Amino acid sequence: MSSNRAIVAGDAVRRARAVAEFEEWEFVASFHTGRTAEIDRTDEIVLSKELARREVTLELAQALHVTERQVWAMVTEAATVRERIPGVWRAFHDGDIDAARVSAIADTAERLQTPAAWALLEHSAPAYAASHTITELRGWLRRLRARLEPDHVREETARAVEERRVSITHQSDGTSWLNALLPTGVAIAVGERLRRAAKALPSIDPDTGDTDRRTRDQKQADLVAHWLTSCTGTSTDIRAEIAISIDATDLIGLTDGPGLTHDGEPVGADWARELAASEHAVLRRLVLDPIGHVLDTEVLTYRPPEKLRQALRWRDGTCRVTGCRAPVHDTDLDHATAYDRGGTTAAANLRCLCRKHHNMKSHGHLADRHLDPPRRFIERYSGSPRPPG
């Protein structure tokens, strides 16, 4: 099957699946609404009505072979979408977006507070959801909320931080999960320190001469155990470093948009300003064109200098292959047109690719259609006022 035939056939399958999911949601919502309306018209006592409504949910769950929680999620999310963002419901009906994406958008609609925010979400979300993975969509929705309602997000974050904790879950195979709920900025800093520390470990043990055959994940797990069980900490002098981009107007407080990490995760503007004021902060100016692209830079050698590497990491954020979320620090800089074929070492000819996709490209198995364009640092959302009534 040719690539074009695979794309056409795959799109048809995707749409058919989405339409089938819509029909399931439509059936559940309609059946639940009709039956609960009948129950509410009876003269039964309040408790009896509530138990009867629960029976409706149970009937649907057993009919569809899903849990009652899943049925209730369909009911509540369908109500939220149809009442607050009906354009998303229409996109679901047409097969443009599937149930997982509708659920993610419904969760954001539930958290947003104003009709103006709902209208912007309604007009912007379907197109983005239809052309991006669910992981990318969730990140976009978090950024949207942080931009639209920064005060409410800040309050929500403060409440969530009050719940920070560490938990240990023992498994049956002699291992246990150590989980820590932390503020996003702190978690990013921890992850960056772990990455740097694991990378700095010598490949040959200086005492025994043995080769360190641990994977990166194993090294990071061992470092966490060492740091938390040793009273002297670690012998390495690696500290947590994180990189955050923030609009100049947000940084000085004229506007209140969030800062963004390399992979597009929003962090509070107050926290970004606090970091910028630290004596340990290093500020770099990233010059963009009017629509948010990093301006081009070119050098005459094969290997790009570190400043260009940093700019390209900022520009791409992750591996450029559509849907790949490999962190930018784990990617290679690839010449789109090979250097020995006249390709320049310039931003316009370089892109970040994870090792797997870089190898695929080098052996002729990664066409340009599989790549996203460079990331823009300005996200525009199409909003329009709703007609009265």
Q: What is the pLDDT of residues 336-387, one digit of tens each?
A: 988 888 888 888 889 999 999 999 898 888 888 889 888 776 777 766 544 4
Question: Do 170 and 124 share a structural domain?
Answer: no
Asked if residue 328 is part of any domain, the answer here is yes
Question: Given the structure tokens 């790949």, which residue do they identify?
Answer: 324
332 burial via Cβ count (<10 Å: 0-12, 13-18, 19+): middle
Q: How far is CA 8 from the centre of its chain?
A: 27
Asked if residue 321 is part of any domain, the answer here is yes
Pairing mode, strands 259-260 and 298-299: unpaired
Pairing mode, strands 298-299 and 345-346: antiparallel
Question: Do 96 and 16 share a structural domain?
Answer: yes
Q: What is the mean pLDDT of residues 125-132?
A: 94
Asked if residue 142 is part of any domain, the answer here is no
Question: Do 315 and 212 share a structural domain?
Answer: no
Which three-class secondary structure string do you get for 205-271? CCCCCCECCCCHHHHHHHHHHHHHHCCCCCCCCCCCCCCCECCHHHHCCCCCCCEECCCCCEECHHH
Question: Do 302 and 182 share a structural domain?
Answer: no
**CA-based nearest residue to 33, from 91, 76, 70:** 76
Tokens for 189? 């800093």
Segment among 3-17, 104-118, 163-177, 224-238 with least mean pLDDT: 224-238
Question: Do 181 and 125 share a structural domain?
Answer: no
Average pLDDT, the chain: 85
What is the predicted pLDDT for the residue at 239?
A: 58
Going by C-beta distance under 8 Å and a sequence separation of 6 or more, which residues neighbour residue 119? Answer: 383, 384, 385, 386
What is the predicted pLDDT for the residue at 45?
A: 87
Asked if residue 312 is part of any domain, the answer here is yes
Tokens for 50? 């509530």
Asked if residue 239 is part of any domain, the answer here is no
What is the predicted pLDDT for the residue at 126?
A: 96
- For residue 171, what are the domain limits? 165-229
Pick from 109, 131, 153: which residue ends a domain?
131
Question: Do 180 and 70 share a structural domain?
Answer: no
Predicted confidence (pLDDT) per residue in 10-43, tens digit: 889 999 999 999 999 999 999 999 999 999 888 8
Distance CA(243)–CA(231), nearest Å, equals 29
Q: Which amino acid is at 117?
A: A
DSSP letters, 297-333, are: -EESSSSPPHHHHHHHHHHH-B-SBTT---BGGGEEE
Question: Do 75 and 12 share a structural domain?
Answer: yes
Asked if residue 270 is part of any domain, the answer here is no
Question: Do 221 and 103 share a structural domain?
Answer: no
Question: Do 122 and 65 share a structural domain?
Answer: yes
Q: What is the mean pLDDT of residues 127-140?
A: 93
Q: How far is CA 273 from CA 249, 252, 257, 284, 340, in A?
A: 11, 8, 11, 14, 45
Question: Do 204 and 120 share a structural domain?
Answer: no
Asked if residue 260 is part of any domain, the answer here is no
CB 149, CB 112: distance < 8 Å: yes
Question: Do 11 and 100 share a structural domain?
Answer: yes
Asked if residue 320 is part of any domain, the answer here is yes
What is the predicted pLDDT for the residue at 385?
A: 47
Q: How many domains does the chain have?
A: 3
What is the predicted pLDDT for the residue at 192?
A: 86
CB 270, CB 184: distance < 8 Å: no
Q: What is the mean pLDDT of residues 79-94?
A: 96
Q: CATH code at 329?
A: 1.10.30
Backbone phi and psi for residue 384, each to the nearest 5 degrees, phi listed first: -145, 145
Question: Do 214 and 302 share a structural domain?
Answer: no
